[in-house]
Amino acid sequence: MTFKELHIIDPILKALETQGYTHPTPIQEQAIPILLEGNDLLGCAQTGTGKTAAFSIPIIQNLYKSNFQGRKKIRALIVTPTRELAIQIDDNISHYAKHTNLKNMVIFGGVKQAKQTANLRQGQDILVATPGRLLDLISQGFITLKHIEYFVLDEADQMLDMGFIHDIKKIIAKLPTQRQSLFFSATMPKNIVDLSRKILGNYQSVTIKPEQATAEKVEQAVYFVPKKSKIKLLTYLLQTNDVSSVLVFSRTKHGANKVVKQLAKQEIIAEAIHGNKSQTARQKALNNFKDGNIKVLIATDIAARGIDVSKLSLVINYDLPNIPETYVHRIGRTGRAKASGIAISFCDREERPYLRDIEKLIKQKIKVINEHPFVNDEEAAPTEQKQHNKNPRNQQRRNPNNRNRNRNRNRSNNSRNKRD
């Protein structure tokens, strides 16, 4: 099937052709007809399956065909959890709407609002926003939602994980009851389903199960390494492998900054992206990474949402996540759409339970790489072997000196018993 067969209008088709889009992805093929008919939609699909085009193309088409006259008003609202993802969505909409007369913009926190409010005064058709800045500008009177015809809540599961549930409820309360609502999430736990029922009217559902799970199409490996040696291993891999772009995941903001500084000592240029960085610094680092000016980007999980780099060479889990699903999202950065990828994880002793949970979730054993300069025999041994080694009886069997000491101790005890 082609986009033309989905009855996409010529201005959008022309833009899609420029972007190199010829055939819709499964979620686009299923979602676009539903949305063009004006139905609400509950969509469940993994990151990298083409969700943005699935919801933005129908919105652009419907707004364009409505031939709205007069001063532009915000008629479509897309709410998403992170600044990076909001910017990415807005960029995509700009590409898709290039040959229409529609105007779109993005707002987010962490930067001064003057430029954003100036753009709002000029009139916009489509607004992409993060929850906090949206509510802030609504309270100041710069934004009204009374003209909204299309509402999209994207990455809903991440939105709830980040604690935005109350903000989302406030936004929903300000929307017109007559609207088309779209709800997208990578997972559908009970709290997500309950929230969708509050947002959606008489909706249709689209669930896209990838032809091949992310964990199956990404080549994975794990290095057992002491925590203190992780930076040495990272440096070694970066220096001995010819990779054009590497995304490294750190569990904490402080850890990300520390890795950047330690790599710099080895003359490896890297930048960090996390919540404590200003929006300007985050966007600069992301652009440098996408443009190839730097080949190593250190990111925390929250900041990594919205990082969409084509042909990403390698993902490295410097710290294993304590939530198994997060691991799948991380390695999916290098397994976009139908592409394959490579993901490497570092695992110290304390992270062994995380590894077991991950392997249970993905239903496969991750290949262990034991041959590297910083392998530690104790760290590299399987957990079961460690427990076996900790058993005193096993230690006695393995160590003849232990047996001799125990034998002499027993003789001494027997002699003492006889004297007593």
Q: How far apart are CA 52 and CA 89, in angstroms?
A: 6
Burial class (CB in 10 A: 0-12, 13-18, 19+), 346: buried
Residue 248: name the closest of 336, 324, 314, 337 by CA.
Answer: 314
SS3 246: strand
In sequence order, what are the residues at sequence separation of 6 or more whose Cβ sits closer than 8 angstroms to the Cβ of residue 333? 247, 304, 307, 309, 312, 315, 341
Assign residue 50 a region: left if phi > 0, alpha if psi is -120 to 50, beta otherwise? left
pLDDT at position 155 is 86
pLDDT digits (tens, 9 = 90+) for 318-342: 999 888 878 887 887 775 545 567 8
pLDDT of amino acid 234: 95
Query: 346 has which bridge partners?
Result: 223
pLDDT for 303: 59
Classify residue 323 by its DSSP letter: S
pLDDT at 416: 39
Which domains does the chain carry? 4-207 (3.40.50.300), 214-382 (3.40.50.300)
| Strands (E) located in 75-185 | 76-79, 104-107, 126-129, 150-153, 180-185
Q: What stretches in the chain show pLDDT beneath 70?
A: 47-48, 209-217, 302-311, 335-340, 376-420
pLDDT at 220: 92
Amino acid at 247: L
| pLDDT for position 412 | 44
Centroid of chain to Cα 85: 9
Alpha carbon distance 86, 94 (integer Å):
12
pLDDT of residue 283: 80
* CA 53 to chain centroid: 18
Give residue for tokens 């406030």.
Answer: 170
Strand order in the sheet with 341-347: 270-273, 296-299, 246-249, 314-317, 341-347, 218-224, 367-368
Supply the pTM of this predicted model: 0.67
Contact 149, 127 (CB under 8 A): no
The pLDDT score that the predictor gives to residue 315 is: 92
